[in-house]
Amino acid sequence: MGFIARILLFLGGIIASWFVSTEVTNFIAYQIAFTLLLIAVLAAMLAFLPWWLQKRKKTNKSD
């Protein structure tokens, strides 16, 4: 579980560094905020995955 958190924080740090300098004193807060945003996007993608697969399956049957 810690490995997954470390990967997500690493990705959040990369995204945060696009917008904020890493020397800023509150960079960790930005990193955590972008990590939470990343988790929310991943959760939304997983939540809508069955709907998207079902919709894709229906469109492939009509072809």
Q: pLDDT digit string (tens) for 27-58?
A: 999 999 999 999 999 999 999 988 888 888 88
The dihedral through the CA atoms of 48, 54, 59, 63 has a sign that is positive
Task: Tell me the residue range of the domain where 50 lies.
Answer: 2-61
Are 38 and 14 a contacting pair, CB within 8 Å? no
Query: The whole model's pTM is what?
Result: 0.75
Are 38 and 32 a contacting pair, CB within 8 Å? no
Rounded distance, CA 6 to CA 12, Å?
10
Are 27 and 16 a contacting pair, CB within 8 Å? yes
**How many domains are contained in the chain?**
1
